[in-house]
Amino acid sequence: MSLELVPQMTVTGLVMGLIYILVALGITLIFGVMRVVNFVHGEMLMLAAFGMYYLYTLLHLPFLVALLLTGVAIAAVGLVVEKTLYRPLAYDILKCLIIGAGASFALRSTAWIVFGPVPREIPTLFPGVMRIGTAVVSNERLVSVGICIALTLALYAFLYQTRAGKAMRAVEQDREAAVLMGVDIDRVYMGAFVIGSALAAVAGALVGMLFAADPEMGSEPLLKSFIIIQIGGMGSIAGAVIAGLFIGLIDSFTETMLGGELAFIVDFGILMAFLIIRPRGLFGYDV
């Protein structure tokens, strides 16, 4: 491997890592507050990509308007999932895991019927490339980086600076004590699912813009996100950020040196090492 490729691989890895983080943050927030592993998250990402395709590409709505409408629609889907799938099961972690996996397969199969197997490309608003040292990165990826960083900081500020965010953290730390202090648990759960779903919508729009929209597109980011949140620690925002960047870099270097087929093998190898050596992840806690 030529050393000249290292800057390019690093830039590519950081970009993909930030997108992985955006997906993982939604799953992490929902799990941290509700102790629910949301398998439907990948399909929300997929539906958001198709939403952007139809609103932006076919209906020619302005990009930000299409993104806003897609985010609202996917947030509504998240509310439906929370109320109809998880709430009736009293958020039991095993039951929710099973029904979430079933709903994921059902949505993916429906997408194959409705959208078909042909990937739908979303044209970029930001053509061209930029050179960073010896690395070259497209402008749309730079915009994606900015969006991911902005949303990560916004989520952090929300959780630590707002009353609603502090209520979510209180429920995460001690649900019974939060109830005794007057926190509305149902409202907190709904808020966590809305925010998590909106993050999935933005991630889907970005992935669709960088690659294409297709019914299977949510599977890989979902699996990467589960690896990331397990390494970072279930429920840990900081852990998801660190692990996301780490996995993004590992994937970039592995795919360049060994081929894309081996990237998942390396990722799962790292995950297995963490499960053996440190099952709680970097900053997590026991379920």
Among candidate residues 52, 42, 141, 39, the one with its CA nearest the CA of residue 95: 39
Average pLDDT along the chain: 88
Where does the pLDDT of residue 285 fall: very low under 50, low under 70, confident under 90, or very high at 90 and above? low
Whole-number pLDDT of residue 281: 84
Strands 129-132 and 135-138: antiparallel
Of 141, 168, 145, nearest to 155 by C-alpha is: 168
Angle between helices 139-161 and 237-258 (to 10 degrees): 160
User: At the topology level of CATH, where does 5-277 sit?
Assistant: ABC transporter involved in vitamin B12 uptake, BtuC (1.10.3470)
Q: What is the reported pTM?
A: 0.89
Model confidence at 3, pLDDT cuts 50, 70, 90, reads: low
Residue 94 phi/psi, 5° resolution? -75, -45
Annotated domain spans of the chain: 5-277
In Å, how far are 42, 92, 111, 259 from 100, measured between CA atoms?
11, 12, 16, 32
Q: How many whole angstroms separate alpha carbon 169 and alpha carbon 181?
A: 13
pLDDT band for 181, please (50, 70, 90 cuts): confident
**pLDDT tens, position by position, 211-241:** 889 999 988 888 888 899 889 887 788 888 9
- Residue 132 scores a pLDDT above 80: no
Report residue 100's pLDDT band, with 50, 70 and 90 as the boundaries. very high
